[in-house]
Amino acid sequence: MPVQRLNHAVLFVRDVDRSTAFYRDVLGFRVKVEMPGRAAFLQAEGSTNDHDLGLFAMGDGAGASGAGRSTVGLYHLAWEVDTLAELARIRGALTDAGALAGASDHATTKALYAKDPDGLEFEVSWLLPADLITPEVQAQGAITQPLDLEAEIERYGAETKGGIGVSVRA
């Protein structure tokens, strides 16, 4: 199965209108199809997919996800951005929304972790281009560090395109 990319994800949420507003207003997704109160299909900025995220309402009585605590299930989705400047912009939007849960430096990946209105976790990350992945960087990858985004911007440049040769063809 030669997977090229993830086409879309579908989430069950308590309030589809609230979740739609979050993904639209905080992360910049566009609403492609909306069935108010029931479902929504959203497309990420720059995407060519029909939709990248489907949201289906479960109602206010739905319990919290137990995935990783008391049940098996999906831990998080990860979305890749093209520059550290974009990662910094998203950090600000997540912080303003009270959704930022953490920031980690995985050496080859610079990652923000956040939670949507239902507490479902997701990641927004920038991937180091392949030509900048040295043996020293690879060795650092075994240890997760707190992310110092300003230092990474100073090191690699705010507008350096991420993922080149890793997730984006060179």
What is the per-residue pLDDT for 107? 94
Give the span between the Cα atoms of 128 and 132, in whole angstroms: 7
Q: Give strand pairing partners of 132.
A: none
How distant, in Å, are the alpha carbons of 8, 29, 54, 109, 134 from that of 74?
14, 21, 15, 20, 31
User: What architecture (CATH level 2) is domain 76-170?
Assistant: Roll (3.10)
The 10s digit of each residue's pLDDT in 80-134 is 999 999 999 999 999 999 999 999 999 999 999 999 999 999 999 999 999 999 9
What is the per-residue pLDDT for 94? 98
Domains 1-59 and 76-170 share a fold: yes
Please state the rounded mean pLDDT for residues 132-137. 92
User: What architecture (CATH level 2) is domain 1-59?
Assistant: Roll (3.10)
Domain map (residue ranges) of the chain = 1-59, 76-170
What is the per-residue pLDDT for 43? 97
Task: Please check the confidence at residue 30 and state whether its pLDDT lies above 90.
Answer: yes
Would you place residue 141 in the very low, low, confident or very high pLDDT band (cuts 50, 70, 90)?
A: confident
